[in-house]
Amino acid sequence: QKEVEQDPGPLSVPEGAIVSLNCTYSNSAFQYFMWYRQYSRKGPELLMYTYSSGNKEDGRFTAQVDKSSKYISLFIRDSQPSDSATYLCAMSSIQGAQKLVFGQGTRLTINP
């Protein structure tokens, strides 16, 4: 069993839709949770970083962590074609984004 599970998609939605991306994990030592966005032929870039259970909002993006269920989510509101990318969840048991364990990534397409 992988430490981090993420549905690879692909996921295709119309512009303006709310997108929900999810990851589950098995290692209860994970305390730090991140979402990265990766455009084609580019390196990942950090979107959201959360530590505790609950919600964190940044513009159109909301990250949600439920440690009791070992489940994290990323919501994108008012999705735009420029949001089309692969979204990777990542987790760590160590402060400062060290020793990251990534999910497989979900490929998202927003259709105009």
Question: Does residue number 100 form part of the binding site for other proteins (CB under 8 A)?
Answer: yes
CA–CA gap between residue 35 and residue 50 (Å, rounded): 9
Beta pairing class for 106-111 and 85-92: antiparallel
Candidates 22, 24, 104, 109; binder of other proteins (CB under 8 A) is 104
Q: Are 3 and 101 in contact (CB under 8 A)?
A: yes
Between residues 90 and 110, which has the closer beta carbon with respect to other proteins?
90
- What is the footprint of other proteins within residues 6-65 (CB under 8 A)? 6, 8, 32, 34, 41-46, 49
In the complex, minimum distance from the CB of residue 104 to other proteins, in angstroms, rounded to a whole number? 5
How far, in Å, are 1, 19, 33, 35, 79 from residue 16 at the CA level?
35, 9, 26, 21, 5
Q: Rule CB under 8 A: which residues touch other proteins? A: 4, 6, 8, 32, 34, 41-46, 49, 88, 90, 95-100, 102-105
